[in-house]
Amino acid sequence: MSRTVHCVLLKSEAAGLDRPPYPGPLGQRIFEQVSKEGWSRWVRHQVMLMNEYRLSPVDPKARKFLEAEMEKFFFGDGSQKPAEFVTPETSKPP
């Protein structure tokens, strides 16, 4: 039986994560308050941040930045896209 949570991102009941997705208290808070769909949205946002800012996951400064952005994304005012970011257009078949 899958667990449900009231997702802070979706503002509704949804399927919860199977385990904390991140270590420590932040990971436990996400586990308790973020749905699978909410986490999936963060992963897409994180990939965009890593690509746009050219972050390396092995760089401690980059990890600290991403952790702060994760906290804002779920529990703050939201994590903003870089000012220069342009959403890619969906390619249409000719």
pTM, entire model: 0.84
**DSSP code for 80:** P
Residue with the larger pLDDT of the pair 77 and 66? 66
Query: Can you give the pLDDT at residue 82?
Result: 73
Residue 34, C-beta contacts closer than 8 angstroms, at least 6 positions apart? 5, 7, 8, 9, 16, 17, 42, 74
Q: What domains are there in the chain, each with its CATH number?
A: 4-75 (1.10.3880.10)
Query: Can you give the pLDDT at residue 47?
Result: 93
The H or E element that residue 42 is part of is: helix 36-53
Which band of pLDDT confidence, cut at 50, 70 and 90, is reported for residue 78?
confident
Residue 52, SS3? helix
Query: Can you give the pLDDT at residue 92?
Result: 57
Query: Can you give the pLDDT at residue 79?
Result: 78
Q: Provide the mean pLDDT of the chain.
A: 90
